[in-house]
Amino acid sequence: MYIGPMFLRKISVRKNGKRHHYWALVESVRTERGPRHRVVSYLGDIDEAGRLGVEQAALHHPGVQSSLFEEPPSPTWVEVDSSRVRLERSRRFGDVWLALEILKKLGLSELLEALLPDVHPKIPWARLAEVLIVSRFCEPSSELHIAEQFYGSSALADLLGIPEEEIYANRLYRALDRLLEHKDRIQQHLKERLGELFAINYDILLYDVTSTYFEGEEAKNPQAQRGYSRDSRPDCKQVCIGMVVTKEGIPLGYEVFEGNRHDSKTVETIIEKMESLYGKSDRVWIMDRGMASEDNLELLAEERRRYIIGTPKNQLKKFEKHLLSRGWHQVHEGLEVKLCPSPEGTKETFILCRSAARAEKEQAMHDRFIAHLEEGLERVKKSCASGRITDVRVAERRVGRLLERYSRAAPLFRINVKERNHRVTLRWKVLKHLSEWARLSEGCYLLRTNIAD
């Protein structure tokens, strides 16, 4: 016996003066007496929502009669009070989904599974690492913020299958410790993968140092030390972070240093680290003037390493005649450069730069320092007038501290502190114009390089 396709049949029955419709699942069978229809199951009185579901299934199922649904069901209208409708448990989805897709594209998910074997009793370390990475991608913040706010407000619990209550700060901290053990391997993997995806040559590397501070004693962290604070928090211990990026701005590697280590003392470590990870090749190192020590210049010159490095501004005096002469080349609008030979006769070439944007920035800084210095002098003047300062030497010391603090504006001030009729008086005058050299060098800076062309 041949069994053909199944289909739905509408059965109409009149009962109590009303017509009722029922549905049955029927199949075609071929018998000795010819084709026959056999009821497989009675579906009963299906409402419109059920009919729509059956219709959608029929449209995607070959052999089912779709002609039974030629008459579309009429919609059911309901009235909704919008003032009593509220949205609950909304989740951010797009950015976290995109972050997970990027992880897959970079091959990080497979790498994390290989580096972090599943030894945790509940949640694999690799999945916790993905939580950390996605959170940094979508909303950079602390582990405490991730655990208490971000994770619960995102769709990560559904996408990763980790319940919200299983993510807490200490668990994320332990995952960071596990990741740190494989920092070099992860950096190598990303360097290779990003190079493949974006055709990066890694021929130009930019290196700089920043810092982050701690509000606490940090007694168990030997690297936490007091040093030059870029955050204006010299009262707090800190660590310095050196980072190498490509010309496209993609991070290539980083190292953490003691908080009191000078920027120039980090160069040798970072160069040796990058060359041990990625080998020695024909690269150009670009660094700011904080790295320009003689030891670093010798290190960079070794083994034919190439570099472009900033030079302290006090070295501009040696190039005064070049500032006054012609021969400037415009790189782009607002920036001119000039190549100058080394004053010491070395093989280095100095690049003299003149930037209109930098000149505006320096002028704004001068104006700000002038305003701050005048505010400070006004406070000292009021203290003298009220009689709180009765000794000239005390007034001079306070003025001296102000001049030291706002040294950029100090050359523009002529200050006179005197004692008259047993009272200390303070007067000053602000020069309207910078000195000729200050005006000439405004917006200029100097680079040095061992690249011939």
Nearest to 140 by CA among 180, 95, 187: 95
Nearest to 320 by CA among 450, 168, 440: 440
Nearest to 41 by CA among 26, 28, 56: 26
The verdict on 145 and 235 lying in the same domain is no
The verdict on 451 and 318 lying in the same domain is yes
The verdict on 292 and 387 lying in the same domain is no
What amino acid is encoded at 415 in this protein? I
Which two structure tokens, joined as six digits, stand for 125?
């370390």
Where the chain has pLDDT below 70, the residues are 1-6, 45-75, 119-121, 433-435, 453
Give me the domain span that covers residue 347.
Answer: 312-453
The verdict on 227 and 334 lying in the same domain is no
Print the SS3 string covering 352-380: EEEEHHHHHHHHHHHHHHHHHHHHHHHHH
Residue 196 lies in a domain: no
- Residue 34, strand partner residues: 31
As a whole number of angstroms, the distance between CA 348 and CA 298 comes to: 12
The verdict on 450 and 332 lying in the same domain is yes
Residue 120 lies in a domain: yes
Residue 80 lies in a domain: no
Q: What pLDDT score was predicted for residue 50?
A: 63
As a whole number of angstroms, the distance between CA 439 and CA 445 comes to: 13
Q: Read off the pLDDT of residues 434-450 as tens digits, 9 standing for 90 and up.
A: 667 777 788 899 999 99
The verdict on 280 and 324 lying in the same domain is no
Burial 380-408 (b: 16+ CB within 10 A, else e): bbebbeeeebeeeebbeebbeebbeebeb
Residue 432 lies in a domain: yes
As a whole number of angstroms, the distance between CA 432 and CA 412 comes to: 8
| CATH number, position 291 | 3.30.420.10
The verdict on 177 and 218 lying in the same domain is no
The verdict on 395 and 316 lying in the same domain is yes
Residue 352 lies in a domain: yes
The verdict on 441 and 338 lying in the same domain is yes
Q: What pLDDT score was predicted for residue 120?
A: 60
| Number of separate domains in the chain | 4
Burial 247-274 (b: 16+ CB within 10 A, else e): eeeeebbebebbbbbebbbbbeebbebb
Choosing from 294, 311, 328, the residue where a domain stops is: 311
Residue 188 lies in a domain: no
The verdict on 350 and 450 lying in the same domain is yes
As a whole number of angstroms, the distance between CA 206 and CA 274 comes to: 12
Print the SS3 string covering 169-204: HHHHHHHHHHHHCCHHHHHHHHHHHHHHHHCCCCCE
Residue 60 lies in a domain: yes
**Mind giving me the DSSP string for 94-128?**
HHHHHHHHHHHHHTHHHHHHHHS-S-SSSS-HHHH
As a whole number of angstroms, the distance between CA 409 and CA 407 comes to: 5
Residue 438 lies in a domain: yes
The bridge status of strand 251-258 relative to strand 237-246 is: antiparallel
User: ∠ CA(102), CA(196), CA(160), 5° rounding?
Assistant: 20
Choosing from 283, 311, 339, the residue where a domain stops is: 311
Q: What pLDDT score was predicted for residue 349?
A: 92
Q: What pLDDT score was predicted for residue 119?
A: 67
The verdict on 325 and 274 lying in the same domain is no
Choosing from 36, 54, 69, the residue where a domain stops is: 69
The verdict on 420 and 322 lying in the same domain is yes
Q: What pLDDT score was predicted for residue 441?
A: 84
Nearest to 372 by CA among 429, 400, 410: 410
Nearest to 317 by CA among 434, 436, 405, 450: 436
pTM of the model: 0.70
- Residue 415, strand partner residues: 428
Residue 112's Cβ-side half-sphere holds a number of Cα atoms within 13 Å equal to: 21
What amino acid is encoded at 452 in this protein? A
